[in-house]
Structure formats: C-alpha cells, structure tokens
Amino acid sequence: MEMDASRRILVILFGILGLFISSIVAEDDLVMSPSKLRMFVDELLHIPRVKGYSFKNGIPVPKSLKIGMFSKKWVKL
C-alpha cells in the first residue's frame, strides 16, 4: 500500500517537473526578439508609379492604359 502511494506521488512530481521544463524550453524557442526580425526583411525596390491620367488644358483627364494583357480606360466619377 505504501509503495503504491509513493509511486503515485513520484509520478505526479515527475509530471509537474516535465510541465515546468517544457514551458521553459518553449519560451526560449518560440519567442523572438524584434532585433532578430530585421534579418527577415528585404529592402523594397523602387517601383515606378503608373499614372492613369494626363493633362489637357491644365485639367487632369483619364487616359487609356494597357496593364498586362488587358486594356483599361479610367473614367472620371
């Protein structure tokens, strides 16, 4: 009888110890400091702007653009 109770207590203590150890290891592996995130960020390239309008008599008017395979007419709302 005494042996069963001591085994149960021992199993419970090892289980609690395992939970504490796994939580400590998980915190070290999963949490990343912001200074380490910089290495995953690439610099953005300069992307030219495509304007969908032109000027006639000083007034902006929509113009036709060919974007990819499709022609798009920008209309003034």
SS3 13: helix
pLDDT of residue 11: 86
Q: How far is CA 21 from the centre of its chain?
A: 29
* 35 vs 37: CA distance, rounded Å: 6
**Residue 6 banded pLDDT, cuts 50, 70, 90:** confident
pLDDT tens-digit series, residues 38-65: 777 788 888 888 777 888 998 988 887 7
Is the pLDDT reported for residue 28 higher than 60? no
| Domain span holding position 22 | 2-73
Is the pLDDT reported for residue 20 higher than 70? yes
Exposure string over 25-34, b if 16+ CB within 10 A, otherwise e: eeeeeeeeee
* Count of domains for the chain: 1
- From residue 58, how far is each of 40, 52, 70 by CA, in Å? 46, 15, 28
Is the pLDDT reported for residue 7 higher than 80? yes
Give me the chain's average pLDDT, please.
75
